Amino acid sequence: MNRDSESKYKGFEADRSKYPQMEKDKPVIDLESQKFIKTWQGPQHPGVTGNMSVELIINGDEIVDAKTHVGYLHRGFEKLMERRRYIQCFPIVCRICVPEPDTNEYCVSAAMEDLAGIVVPEKALWLRTLNLEMSRVGSFLMWLGGQAGSLGMGAIGQWTIGMRDFWLDLFEEMTGGRVYHMYMIPGGVRKDLPEGFRDRTRELIVRTRALLFDIEKTFFNNAIVKARLKGLGVISPEMVTEYGIVGPSARASGIEDDIRINNPYGKYAELDMKMITSDVGDAYARAEVRYQELHQSLDLISQIMDKMPEGGKIQAKLPNVLHWKIPAGQTYVKAESTRGEHGFYMVSDGTKYPRRVFARGASYTHAISVLEKLAVNISISDLAALMVSLHTCPPEIER
């Protein structure tokens, strides 16, 4: 196995020199030969993100073939929405991603606004941007704990999940909900900030940065972490295009693509931010990119706190939502989630209900095709780390 991370983008092709034999570019795996064991990682396995499973064929410690299986938490959100009035969709979509529900909320509302020609008031745009960035912080913290946990460093997981809870406290104050916020509705948001919110947020930013400083010392400057993550799951720039890889996973391979910068929505155009990339492409590089983006999000939140005006309209006037019909049309709206491009394709046929809603999450490619490719040839003990390094979220696959 190639663990030389400094060499650019090497190692993403499986080393097939020993097993299994290849015939016409396909591995020949004869389970009867006693050289292989078929085993499952997931769906109930601490090393799997969410509920999915990976069917593995291993040879000793080495994975020689991986197949992903989903279907453990299909709730049919897209179909449900076809039987819901437009306004009834936002409480559904947040459930597509537990750690980062707000991107879904944003996209579904933005799609309706786009189709119906609704202009969202300034203040609501600020609040949405704030909400989305807070959501990124929460999601990154959860990922960071997961990444450390996948390497056996449970304590860091406890720290970040603990810190995320303080962010959930803020969410609770702002939106009325901790996990599923149901805050953005078509036309705007449901509440302005409570009193003293800005100060409490600034305080929490300081505390979060202090924690991140500790994590930098214990996780990123850690010989074991480096030994295990460097060179793991290397993604080349070519693979990014070929597989449709997005977000930090693409940026860690040198692709400059961040929707917040390239196609700004909300109030991102008025915020100061730089593209964060790396040109290494392995799991460690992805971790670093995410870590920097976590700092970036904290910085954006500070900026929003300074720039967002007090008061102002929080919702555009909607028609009576019980009879709200959106003119026939179709749209695709996208936003940058912590896993990358998150998009909603919505078709309206002029009735009270959406004709079709399609939720596009980064995990569909990351957790299926990319994972199946990158898992081959690594040690079974690294699979969890690899999966988390792709930051996959199975509910996104099964909308």
**Nearest approach, Cβ of residue 112 and other proteins (Å):** 13
Integer angstrom CA distances of residue 226 from 68, 146, 215, 229: 27, 16, 14, 5
Q: What kind and span of H or E run contains 363? A: helix 363-364
**Nearest approach, Cβ of residue 79 and other proteins (Å):** 14
Judge contact between 387 and 49, C-beta under 8 A: yes
- Report the residue number, 191 or 202, with the smaller CB distance to other proteins: 191
**Nearest approach, Cβ of residue 238 and other proteins (Å):** 31
Whole-number Å distance between alpha carbons of 104 and 274: 24
**Nearest approach, Cβ of residue 145 and other proteins (Å):** 14
H-helix segments, 45-153: 77-81, 90-93, 102-116, 122-150
- Report the residue number, 15 or 169, with the smaller CB distance to other proteins: 169
Structure token digits, residue 309: 């005006």
Cα dihedral 332, 334, 340, 342 in deg (nearest 10): -60
**Nearest approach, Cβ of residue 91 and other proteins (Å):** 3
**Nearest approach, Cβ of residue 74 and other proteins (Å):** 18
Query: What SS3 state is found at 72?
Result: coil
**Nearest approach, Cβ of residue 33 and other proteins (Å):** 38
Four-residue CA torsion sign, 302, 304, 308, 313:
negative
Judge contact between 143 and 338, C-beta under 8 A: yes
- Report the residue number, 185 or 239, with the smaller CB distance to other proteins: 185
Whole-number Å distance between alpha carbons of 77 and 87: 14
Q: What is the CA radius of gyration of the chain?
A: 22
Place of tokens 């997931």: 42
- Report the residue number, 341 or 382, with the smaller CB distance to other proteins: 382
- Report the residue number, 215 or 239, with the smaller CB distance to other proteins: 215
**Nearest approach, Cβ of residue 191 and other proteins (Å):** 5
- Report the residue number, 114 or 172, with the smaller CB distance to other proteins: 172
Query: What SS3 state is found at 160?
Result: helix
- Report the residue number, 48 or 94, with the smaller CB distance to other proteins: 94
**Nearest approach, Cβ of residue 150 and other proteins (Å):** 16
**Burial of residue 82, with CB atoms counted within 10 A of its CB: 0-12 exposed, 13-18 middle, 19 or more buried:** middle
- Report the residue number, 259 or 314, with the smaller CB distance to other proteins: 314
Four-residue CA torsion sign, 234, 236, 237, 241:
negative
Structure token digits, residue 152: 């056996």
Query: What SS3 state is found at 26?
Result: strand
Judge contact between 359 and 78, C-beta under 8 A: yes
**Nearest approach, Cβ of residue 262 and other proteins (Å):** 31
- Report the residue number, 24 or 323, with the smaller CB distance to other proteins: 323
- Report the residue number, 282 or 336, with the smaller CB distance to other proteins: 282
| Sheet containing strand 340-348, strands side by side | 329-337, 340-348, 354-360
Q: DSSP assignment of 310-349, as one string?
A: SS---B-----TTS----SEEEEEEEEETTEEEEEEEEE-
- Report the residue number, 288 or 341, with the smaller CB distance to other proteins: 288
**Nearest approach, Cβ of residue 217 and other proteins (Å):** 4
The footprint of other proteins (CB under 8 A) covers: 84-85, 87-92, 155, 162-163, 166, 169, 172-177, 180, 182, 185, 187-188, 190-192, 194, 214, 217-219, 221-224, 226-227, 313-315, 317-323
